Structure 1
Amino acid sequence: MLDPERVGEVPRFTERWGGSGSVGDIDGPVHWVEYGDTDNGSPPVVMVHGLGGSHLNWVRVAPLLAKHTRVLTVDLPGFGLSEVGRRQAGIDANAIVLQRFLQDVVGTPVILMGNSMGGMISSFAAAAHPESISGLVLVNPALPVGQRLPDPQVALQFALQFIPFVGEGYLRFASRNLTDRQLVERMVEMCFADPSRASQEVLEVATAFTGYRRGLPSQDAAFLQASRSLLLTLARPGRYQDAMRSIQRPVLLIHGDKDKLVPVASARKAAAANERWDSVILNGVGHTPQLEVPDTMLDHVMTWVGKHGLIDV
């Protein structure tokens, strides 16, 4: 469990953006950060990070969207400030935790927004419990590979993580040999098309957050379990594709065309297979538009919610 004394420090990472951190129990600690009005009548927005991410992945868009509705950014078990404990960290297990979070913490239908692995988990949750969802925004979601393979360096990292014992050693090596800032910058290089777009303020907070997490029990096992579960789901994509096709609520797919992790061809294929979806391809943008081009991404989200009458804009 999170150290009770450390829980009090959580707001320091997000308070400059107006976020307030909380920790609840869903068979173990689940941390989230909340922004905005809780009683304005619009569906809340719940944001779900990707592999290796956290609530900090949303600090450039959550405060802006919170001007229109309540926003919650959740840390899945094994990530951010939600220690995995005795829980599993695979795709299906985290989809169940996400659904319980929607039911027990939010308690009303939400607009679910997921990036990368969070997009996959959000899709499974939306398909399994449509009553909990008003709409779904997929931001560069993890998708089956199309005609173009991922960036070779990225593919090599995932391959190393997938191999038993090799993956564990790879993560230990990075943790021992890279500084907090280097770990953050390596993630920016992987996820941004143009690393110069990274907010210096966010980089500084992310560096401090990385150092803080070093003081918590290692989450390497949870990370590898999630990574391997993600790869296995993509290797046998039928169930995932069926889940996406079954979603009847409005769906917006946003994808950067310079994504090194999930090639844009995969997004175009998913959009073609789901003709009811709205889709936007962002030119010159990488895997995390919410951090790289937050204003552009939010403009598309607000146009979409207005089109479907989800939020009064």
Structure 2
Amino acid sequence: MTTAAGHPDTTTGAPVGAPVDLAAPWGGRSRYADLGGPVHWVDFGGPTEARDGVEAAAPPLVLVHGLGGSHLNWVGVAPALARHRRVVALDLVGFGLTPHEGRSSNVRDNAALVARFVREVVGEPAVLMGNSMGGMISLLVADRFPEVVEALVLVDASLPTPGVRPDRQVLLEFAVYATPFVGERYMQRNAARFTDRQRVLRTVAVCFADPSRADAAVVDAGVELAAWRRTLPGAERAFLGAARSLLRILRSGNRYPALITRVRQPTLLLHGELDKLVPVGAARATAESKPAWEREILAGVGHTPQLEVPDAVVARVEPWLASLPG
């Protein structure tokens, strides 16, 4: 259906030309919710009838992607996790199929969006499973809106890194993002210099310990999404706004560690041993400060285990979710 440029199709809420069927090969159905503007989310389904008491009581699972990510970051694990509970994934403001439209993309505002999504769309408290920036956002939600969070699964979450030396190239790149005008020019140059496929593969190279593990179908879907996002106004501004807000929290002294200390929900911490973006030492230090949390360090894995070794992630997450109180 054709509408004026920049305005959503009023029958679905989808922006014009949005490739809303990207998750269909993995059983995902695209939806839009009006939460102060259009927010795209994907319903991966769940059991239609409870086969036993554990399944009937299983809280829904909400998947929260990281910086530069989207609902596609979860297609490797969502179908398997949906066998025993409802599973949904949303695209944060300015990412995936959720347009920026002048809204704030910083992590605190996206945390408020996630809480509103759980209340108004999911309709009951949920387990939040967040990767990278999505892990930080999940922690912010658990602290600010504890009534909507049953438990947390943190997958290579953005965590405090005192005394832990990040990868040099990653450190330099985020220093560029943090610098006004320089970050904008850098993003514009990369958009002009690289094709959509090259940009997706560059991301895979950073996020995977072994890029050959990348699912070709997920890469192709990511390229299609990147091509559409190239047409959107404000995409670079949304990315930089989120990146800069993430860095402010990481550089906030003791505030972020104190927030983590306050979190009381059951938590499973998963982390790739070879993560270049969030060093594994950050996960180990956080786990030591939270002895009640369960943790698993995944050997030979990078920043996005749910894409690189999805079967291993499901094998660890599923029994932990099943052990949660109803």
* CA distance in 2 between partners of 1:244 and 1:6 (Å): 37
> How far apart are residue 169 of structure 1 and its match?
0.3
Does residue 3 of the first structure (1) align with residue 8 of the second (2)? yes
Deviations 1:24-62 (A, max 9, x none): 111111110011137543211000000010111001001
Question: Is 1:20 aligned to 2:33, yes or no?
Answer: no
Name stretches of at least 5 consecutive residues in structure 1 with no aligned partner.
none
Is 1:108 the counterpart of 2:128? The answer is no
Shift of 1:214: 1.5
Of the candidates 145, 161, 165, which is equivalent to residue 161 of structure 2?
A: 145
Cα offset, 1:77, TM superposition: 0.5
Q: 2:290 aligns with which of 274, 287, 295?
A: 274
1:47 maps to what in 2?
63
Which piece of structure 1 moves more, 120-129 or 212-221? Answer: 212-221
Pick the aligned partner of 1:253 from 237, 247, 269.
269
Structure 2: tracts of 5 or more residues without a match: 1-5, 51-55
Alignment CA distance shift 1:108-1:7 (3 Å): farther
The answer to whether the aligner puts 1:135 opposite 2:140 as a matched pair is no
Contact 2:76/2:306 (8 A) holds in 1:
yes
Q: Does the CA-based 8 Å contact 2:102-2:234 persist in structure 1?
A: no
Summarize the alignment of residues 174-185 of structure 1 with structure 2, pairs less than 5 Å apart: 174-185=190-201
More deviation, 111-120/138-147: 138-147
Q: In structure 2, what is the Cα distance between the partners aligned to 1:7 and 1:290?
A: 30
Secondary structure of residue in 1 paired with 2:21: helix
Partners of 1:280 and 1:60 lie apart in 2 by 19
Question: Which residue of structure 2 lines up, in the alignment, with residue 284 of structure 1?
Answer: 300
Instruction: Classify the secondary structure of the residue corresponding to 1:47.
Output: strand
How much does 1:242 deviate?
Answer: 2.1
RMSD, aligned CA:
1.6
- 2:44 is matched with 35
TM-score (norm 2): 0.91
**Local SS of the residue matching 1:77:** coil
**1:16 alignment partner AA:** P
Q: CA 1:97–1:194 in 2, change beyond 3 Å: closer, same or farther?
A: same
Cα distance in 2, alignment partners of residues 2 and 177 from structure 1? 29
Scaled by the length of structure 1, the TM-score of the pair is 0.95
The amino acid that maps onto 2:255 is R
Residue correspondence of structure 1 range 1-313 to structure 2 within 5 A: 3-4=8-9, 6=15, 10-37=19-46, 40=50, 41=56, 42-309=58-325
Structure 1 stretch 127-136 or stretch 221-230: which is displaced more? 127-136
